[in-house]
Amino acid sequence: MTFPIIHTNIWDAVIAVPIIMIITQCFKFLPIKRYIIPSIAVTVGLVISVFFSHKDNLYAGIFMGFFYGYAAIGNYASLKTSLRALKKKRQQKQNFL
């Protein structure tokens, strides 16, 4: 078995990852358990990659779909952690004054 040649560009990541983040945020309005949201992100990443970005090569679509989904999860977790730290820092500064 040979490994697939994956042709990707920056637009795949610039468009796919924010779309996945938006879609998963929309799922939070539904009565879904919070621990299922990352699985939804990976599934949406796979769908976008297999059916839109890499529709000519299934293996490349699956490979990149996992990257899209996990990149969206990581971006969300990083943003949430940064905002919590900023909020905590501001509260500590305000309590100090």
**How far is residue 10's CA from residue 81's CA, in Å, rounded to a whole number?**
25
User: Are 45 and 70 a contacting pair, CB within 8 Å?
Assistant: yes
pTM value is: 0.81
The pLDDT of 33-54, averaged and rounded, is: 94
Residue ranges covered by each domain of the chain: 10-96
Predicted confidence (pLDDT) per residue in 13-22, tens digit: 789 999 999 9
The CA distance from 4 to 55, in Å, is 13
Predicted confidence (pLDDT) per residue in 59-88, tens digit: 888 989 999 999 999 999 999 999 999 999
Tokens linked to 86 = 């900023």
